[in-house]
Structure 1
Amino acid sequence: MSNRRTWSHIETSTRKLAREHGSIQVVTGPAFAKDSPTLNGRVRVPGYLWKAIYVPGVGAAAYVVRNDATPAYSVISIAELAHFTGLEPFPALAGDARTTPIDLPPPTPHPGEKPARRVAFAWLVSGNAVSANRDAESLGHLIRHAGALATLALAYAR
C-alpha cells in the first residue's frame, strides 16, 4: 500500500506553510486499523498516515490520509487526531487550539498531477479499514508492544 502522491503533495504544502510563517512545528506518524496487513508476517503496515502542524500564534490541525492510492485527505483537530491515534502530538496545546482545526492549505500537486480532494474524516476512515464503531487500534496501545514497533521502524528505515 502507498499514498506517495497525496503524501508528497502534503509535504510540499507543509514546506510552503513553513516558509510563509517562518516557524512551524510538525509531528508525523502512522495509525493502524485492526485489519492492517503485515509485511513478511511480522511488521504491521499502517492504514493511515498523519501530519500534525502547529503554527505559533495561529493554531493547529492535522492532515490524515489513507495509506493507499485514494486521492483524498482530511483535516482534523489535534483532539480528533489524539482520539484516533492515542497519541498527543502537542501535549501542551489546550483549548481552542486543540479542539478547533485551523485551515491547512490543500496539498500542492506537482505539475501534471491531479490534486487530492478534501473529504470528511468519517468518510476517510469508513469502509473495511475502520468501522463506524471505532475499530482502529490506538497507536498508544501499540507502543506497549515496543518490540513490534522497533521492527516496524527498522523496516521503514530500509
Structure 2
Amino acid sequence: MKTVLTALALAGFGATAAQADCYSIYPQGAGQEPVPMVGYSVTEAADLEGLMDAPPLAEGANAIACERDSIVPRLNDFELVRYHSTPLLISTGEGENAQMLILGFQPAMEDENGEMTEPQYRVQMAQGGLNDDERTGIIGALEGFAESEQALDAYLRAQEQDS
C-alpha cells in the first residue's frame, strides 16, 4: 500500500481531485500521473446487483483513488478490494482538513511458521486524523463487510442454481 501512497503524493492527487470523482493510480516509480476515470463510480458499480465488474483501471494502474464526502468506507467497497484485489484510497477535505484512508485486503496466506493467517481488511490513515464518529464509522463499515460478503455469496449461489 505504501507504493500507492507514494504515487499519489508524487502525482499531486489532492491538487486535481476536483476534476473527477475517481482516478486510476500507478505504483511507485511508474512515473505516471493519476488518470481520471471519467464516468466511473466505485459506489455505483458496487451498488449494482451481484458482484461488481472489475474496474476499468488504466493499463498498469494498481489502485483507485476517490474523492468523497466522508472518509468512512461504504457498504459495498469490500467488493473492489477483496474480489478485485484493488486497493481503494478515499480522500476528503483540503489543506489542513485533508484526510486520506487506504483500504485494502490481505487474503489468507501461510506465515513464516507454516500456519495459515486469517484473511483481513487493512486500513491505514495516510493523511489526517480521525474524530470519534469517523473511527466508529470505519469500524462499523469493516464489521458490516462480513454481512455484505455473506449476502453476496448467497446471491451468487442462487444465481448458479438458477443457471
Q: TM-score, normalised by structure 1?
A: 0.30
Bigger Rg over Cα = 2
TM-score (norm. length: structure 2): 0.30
Which has a greater percent of strand?
1
Higher helix share: 2
